[in-house]
């Protein structure tokens, strides 16, 4: 892909880019479909329930049926809604969620774009989804949707700050914003992975990442018990599906980014295991992070809004700032 970028852009190259974009979209859609299924099965297992087991063998077609149902449902727009913004909001929410995946390196040869500022690209685009959620809540002309959108704005701004600051330690250790260079800096065994010297940054990033996803225990923008369904209460059919799709695409993106930044990316935990394909190691680490997100949803209750904001500003932000000084001290000791 990168060699094509170095050549002059032709219709052939454009067709190749379009083809790989469609392939990546299909992979993401497949992940979302079965991430929902596995989440329901994992939560059911943890809470001593059965989970989906009727539609298809072992219930494997339940998510497919749910997606099909959303696609054929009637698309309704409230009469007094801001029509243009109401239609645009799900698109603004989803597109950044998909485009951030362009900079994720899955192996040393399997990646879409090798940007020198890949980490900055990810952070910059991921914040745009907040605008879509706010617009969806405001354009719906519904007080519960508006409250959900306002909560989302407050939550995402509050947790975006410690999330970004928590990765500064990784940037200091690797000396680059390029995600491939960050992974290459962790070669040689798990003792070189960043999660060991960056354990504080790792914990802060994981908690802030879950909050950015609006997932339990931080799902205040769509708290069913308080706001009916939050910012997307007036959405139905495929527009509602776009919001759900964006959430699970961000699960894919955040889990991939944690794997790249802190868990060595495609590198094996021990050098003698390098014969195993790199994509296998990436998928194992990625799956573990996704499982942990499902685990949190199955076991933790929703926090109050004051607890949510207090955790971000009073605990995570000071820890993220302290991590920078800890990293500087660590680099001084080992140098």
Residue 76 near residue 88, CB atoms below 8 Å: no
Angle between helix 143-166 and 128-139 (nearest 10): 170
d(CA 41, CA 222): 22
pLDDT of residue 231: 81
From residue 297, how far is each of 121, 144, 151, 277 by CA, in Å?
A: 29, 23, 19, 31
Backbone φ, ψ for residue 275 (5° rounding): -70, -20
DSSP 268-331: -SSGGGTTS-HHHHHHHHHHHHHHHHHHHHHH-PPPPHHHHHHIIIIIIHHHHHHHHHHHHHHH
Count of H helices and E strands in the chain?
15, 0
From residue 308, how far is each of 214, 246, 281 by CA, in Å?
A: 11, 22, 34
Backbone φ, ψ for residue 263 (5° rounding): -110, 20
pLDDT tens for each residue of 161-190: 999 999 999 999 998 999 999 999 998 889
pLDDT of residue 224: 64
d(CA 232, CA 217): 19
In this structure, what DSSP letter does residue 9 have? P
pLDDT of residue 9: 62
Handedness of CA 81, 87, 88, 93 (dihedral sign): positive
d(CA 311, CA 292): 20
In this structure, what DSSP letter does residue 43 have? H
CB atoms within 10 A of CB 63: 21
pLDDT of residue 3: 47
pLDDT of residue 146: 85
pLDDT of residue 4: 45
Parts of the chain with a pLDDT under 70: 1-9, 221-228
């Amino acid at each position: 892909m990168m060699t094509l970028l170095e050549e002059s852009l032709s219709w052939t190259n454009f067709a190749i880019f379009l083809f790989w974009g469609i392939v990546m979209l299909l992979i993401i859609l497949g992940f979302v479909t079965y991430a929902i299924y596995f989440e329901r099965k994992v939560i059911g297992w943890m809470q001593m329930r059965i989970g989906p087991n009727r539609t298809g063998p072992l219930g494997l077609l339940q998510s497919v049926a749910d997606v099909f149902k959303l696609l054929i449902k009637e698309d309704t727009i409230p009469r007094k809604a801001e029509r243009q913004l109401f239609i645009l909001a799900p698109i603004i929410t989803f597109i950044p969620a998909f485009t951030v995946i362009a900079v994720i390196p899955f192996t040393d040869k399997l990646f879409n774009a090798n940007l020198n500022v890949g980490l900055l690209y990810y952070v910059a685009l991921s914040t745009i989804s907040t605008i879509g959620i706010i617009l969806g809540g405001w354009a719906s002309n519904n007080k519960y949707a508006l409250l959900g959108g306002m909560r989302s704005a407050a939550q995402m701004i509050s947790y975006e700050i410690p999330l970004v600051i928590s990765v500064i330690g990784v940037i200091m250790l690797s000396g680059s914003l390029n995600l491939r260079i960050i992974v290459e800096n962790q070669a040689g065994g798990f003792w070189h992975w960043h999660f060991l010297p960056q354990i504080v940054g790792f914990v802060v990033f994981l908690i802030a990442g879950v909050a950015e996803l609006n997932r339990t225990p931080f799902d205040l923008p769509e708290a069913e018990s308080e706001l009916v369904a939050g910012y997307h209460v007036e959405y139905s059919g495929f527009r509602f599906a776009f919001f759900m799709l964006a959430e699970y695409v961000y699960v894919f993106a955040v889990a991939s980014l944690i794997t790249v930044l802190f868990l060595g990316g495609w590198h094996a935990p021990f050098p003698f295991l390098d014969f195993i394909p790199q994509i296998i190691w990436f998928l194992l680490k990625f799956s573990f992070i996704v499982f942990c997100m499902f685990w949190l949803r199955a076991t933790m209750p929703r926090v109050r809004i004051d607890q949510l904001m207090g955790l971000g500003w009073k605990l995570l932000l000071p820890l993220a700032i302290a991590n920078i000084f800890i990293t500087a001290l660590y680099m001084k000791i080992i140098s």
